Structures are given as structure tokens and as C-alpha cells.
Amino acid sequence: MNNETLLQLEHVYQVYGSGARRFTAVEDVNLTLSVGEFVALLGPSGCGKSTLLRIIAGLQKPSQGKVLYRGEVLRGVNPKASIIFQTFALFPWLSVIENVTLALQMKGNEEPERSRKAEELLDRVGLDGFESAYPRELSGGMRQKVGFARAMAVEPELLCMDEPFSALDVLSAETLRGELLELWTEGKIPTKSILMVSHSIEEAVLLADRIVVMDKQPGRIIAEHKINLPHPRRRKSPEFQHQVDLVYAILAGQTLSETEELGVAPGEIGQTRQLPEIEINDLAGLLEHFSESDRGIHDLYLLEDELGVDSEYLLRLTEAAEILGFASIAKGDIEATPIGLAFAEASIPARKEIFASRARRIPVIRWLLSMLHASEKQQLKWDLIRTALSLEFPPEETENQLEILINWGRYGALFNYDDDTETLSLESELEKGASVTNG
């Protein structure tokens, strides 16, 4: 591999919104892509991965900072790059093969070479026999394959992919990963560098030469990790698992002091912590797993298989466990706390009480409870809370956070939410009694 630089980001910032709603989605990103490199971008949802990809492809100009392509400042869309999105937009009025030949035609390919090449590409992605079908006749997975064939047909120098396999079923995803890797490692495509956004640690370790890890609040690069394993890589090999373990250690970070973990309440100086979107039953499942095991400390990377969840969701579950003080994490290992084990071993009503007492320590929940206490009839409209929260979180995140708060509050019987009137209210003693007698 040579070290010829293809792309460089220098002190790139992306700010969205304005006034009080202004927030920094991407902060001071420096990144270099070299010729011959397959780089994966990993990080929690909302950390700015898609934003960076769009900036790199020239679809979006950063608020600040420089994008250099082969040493030249990039202006407008990068003609040497092509981007594959999670779900690919095809021309619905064109057949499968026409969708691909169109891309070849724009590259200047002539018939009959054009059709031959298109057929070969479709064959590669497993769409042999579907050449004359129309996009509407295909499953989501098959449409994505056409998208891949089309992106390959363009033969981009820089191939950018935004979670390209995540909308596919497990088998199609694995097949396509294999096809892509073969095209890439055997030099069957003229592509010089690949940048892939992924939310799966395993996928990144399977494909990439280098993993760039991001974190959110604000979105930024926190680490880079090289994967020096030769291809083909075996997911079950000890070397592979070791790499997955190391990347988990970077992504999961380390449990901080309680004040640092919990953040501040809305309106206070500092960061209001975003709560991870999880099913509380799954969190209970994680803690039950710990309580039933004879091991005290668990490798995060092993939990993925043991619990049957992907890395993205597992990291959200462990983050929730950290925030609630149910577990602590260091160096890719997780250990349940005594209170986490007590939660796992408790009856359902006792679990709810433990959960409530832990949740009350979270500043944003305490803030919501005190607002409810202070309000007339101890009720607040959903809209009003959303407005208050919108000053703390990115626009798309606000409603999400409110739903998580409602979900956690309902589980711990801290407050209630009425869907019809869109009102939050404090759970009164009377109502608690009523809900017990009514079953």
C-alpha cells in the first residue's frame, strides 16, 4: 500500500440550526484517506457520520474547515466520488438492467460492451435473471443490490457508503459484503479508496483497514484503530475477536463518575445527557444474564452473540445500564453493580421501584418531575416540554428524547402520559391504587 493522499479534512465543523437552536453536529474533524485504504466510520447514531460522508462527497459544504481532494480544495460535488445510501434510489420507470446501463452510458460506454458489462455486474451481485424486472417488483434487498451494481458501474475513485448493508437481510448482506471485498481486494474495480459508515463493529473489522471511531455531543473523532488482519478474515478466529474486543473498548469507553455520567438538567450550564433508546425489558434481560452467570466480568464483544443483539443496540443497552448505575464498563469489559444484580433478581413491582429510585437521580428526569410538581393540576402538555427540551437537543433528537423520558417514567411509575390529551401528569397515589385494583 502506498501513502498517496486522496482526501483530507482539515478542522471541519458542521453547525446546524440558528439562534438558540444552533448546535454543533460535527466538531473539529481531521481525517486523511489514502490511496488503497478501506476506512470504516463507526459511532453512535447522531454523531455526524452521514454529515461527514456528505461533506466528503461534496454534497454539503462544511460550516468551517477545508476539504482537499488530491491536494485541491473541493468545490461542489466531487465528480470522482460516488455515494451509496442505506436505501438506494433507482429510476422506477427503468428496468433493472436499464438502471445499470444508464450509469455506464453516462460514463461513455458503448453498446454492446455496455450491456455485457451491466449483465456481468448484475450477475456479481446475485441478480442474474432479474435484468428485465422493474424496481417495484423487487424486494428492498434486491433493490439495494441494483444500487450497488450501479455504483460499481460508475467506477468511482472514492466510494462512499452510508450503512449500505443495514437494510438488507442477513444473508444478502453477507453475500454483498463478500462481493464488494472481492472486487476491492482483487483490484477488479478502479476504486482507489473506500469510506464506509457502519453501525456494526463486526462489519467494520471484517472489511476495513482502519476504523475511525466517533462519539456524539458533540460529534467528533475520538480514536483511530488499524486492522492489520489479512483477507479473507474469519469472524470466529481469535485474532478477529481480539480486534472486535479492542474496538468495543474504544466505543464503550469507561464509566465515569456519577456527575459526569448523568450530565446536567435542561437550562443549566453544561450538557443535558441524551438517554439511549432501549426496551427496558431488554435491559432487564442483560442484567438477568449477568445475574445467572457465574462470571462477574463480561467481555462486551461476547455479549453480542450471547444476547442475540447487534453492537449498536448492545452499546445502547450498556449505556442505559451505566446511566442507571446498574453496571460499570472499562476496557471493553462490563460488570453488574450490586444494585444492578438486585434489579435482575427482584420481582416486577420491586424492579419498578428500584428503577424509579435510580431514574430520579438523572437530572433531566428530576427536572421534569419538579416541573410537574410546580404546575397546576400537576400536568404538562407534551408540546410545552418539547419546546423546553428543544433548546437542549438537536431538532430531530428532541421528540425522541421526550419519548424515552415518557417510556422510562411510565416504567418506574414516576409519571403518566395520556396519549389522547397529550398530557404528562404525576402518578398520584389514588391512580396507583386504582391501577392495582383494575389489574
In the complex, the residues that contact ligand ADP under the rule CB under 6 A are 16-17, 25, 43, 45-51, 219, 394-397
Partners of 64 in beta bridges: 13
The residue among 296 and 395 lying less far from ligand ADP, judged by its C-beta, is 395
Q: CB 216 → Mg ion: shortest distance, Å?
A: 11
Q: Which of the listed partners (ligand ADP, Mg ion, none) does 325 bind, with a CB threshold of 5 to 8 Å by partner kind?
A: none
Q: Which of the listed partners (Mg ion, ligand ADP, none) does 8 bind, with a CB threshold of 5 to 8 Å by partner kind?
A: none
Q: The C-alpha cell of 386 is what?
A: 418539547
Cα Rg of the chain (Å, integer): 25
C-alpha span between 408 and 286 (Å, rounded): 17
Q: CB 199 → Mg ion: shortest distance, Å?
A: 8
Q: The C-alpha cell of 370 is what?
A: 419538579
Question: What track of x and - describes contact with Mg ion for positions 264 through 293 (by CB under 5 A)?
Answer: ------------------------------
Q: Residue 24 interacts with Mg ion (CB under 5 A)?
A: no
- Please answer whether residues 338 and 330 qualify as being in contact, where contact means their C-beta atoms are separated by less than 8 angstroms: no
Q: CB 197 → ligand ADP: shortest distance, Å?
A: 7
Q: Which of the listed partners (ligand ADP, Mg ion, none) does 47 bind, with a CB threshold of 5 to 8 Å by partner kind?
A: ligand ADP
Q: CB 23 → ligand ADP: shortest distance, Å?
A: 7
Q: Which of residues 305-334 bind Mg ion (CB under 5 A)?
A: none
Q: CB 87 → ligand ADP: shortest distance, Å?
A: 14
Q: The C-alpha cell of 148 is what?
A: 450497488
C-alpha span between 56 and 51 (Å, rounded): 9
The residue among 47 and 247 lying less far from ligand ADP, judged by its C-beta, is 47
Q: CB 41 → Mg ion: shortest distance, Å?
A: 10
The residue among 49 and 124 lying less far from Mg ion, judged by its C-beta, is 49
Closest by CA to 242, choosing from 293, 302, 290, is 302
Residues with Cβ within 8 Å of residue 338, at least 6 apart in sequence: none
The residue among 4 and 224 lying less far from ligand ADP, judged by its C-beta, is 224
Q: Residue 50 interacts with Mg ion (CB under 5 A)?
A: yes
Residue nearest to Mg ion (CB): 50
C-alpha span between 153 and 96 (Å, rounded): 13
Q: How many residues bind Mg ion (CB under 5 A)?
A: 2
The residue among 398 and 416 lying less far from ligand ADP, judged by its C-beta, is 398
Q: CB 181 → ligand ADP: shortest distance, Å?
A: 23
The residue among 95 and 398 lying less far from ligand ADP, judged by its C-beta, is 398
C-alpha span between 286 and 288 (Å, rounded): 5
Q: Give residue 139's identity as a one-letter amino acid code.
A: S
The residue among 44 and 412 lying less far from ligand ADP, judged by its C-beta, is 44
C-alpha span between 314 and 298 (Å, rounded): 13
The Cα angle at residue 162 between residues 255 and 56, in degrees rounded to 5: 95
The residue among 52 and 321 lying less far from ligand ADP, judged by its C-beta, is 52
C-alpha span between 38 and 82 (Å, rounded): 15
Residues with Cβ within 8 Å of residue 106, at least 6 apart in sequence: 154
**DSSP run (H or E) holding 12:** strand 5-16
Q: CB 54 → ligand ADP: shortest distance, Å?
A: 8
- Please answer whether residues 320 and 339 qualify as being in contact, where contact means their C-beta atoms are separated by less than 8 angstroms: no
Instruction: Name the residues that contact Mg ion, by CB under 5 A.
Output: 49-50
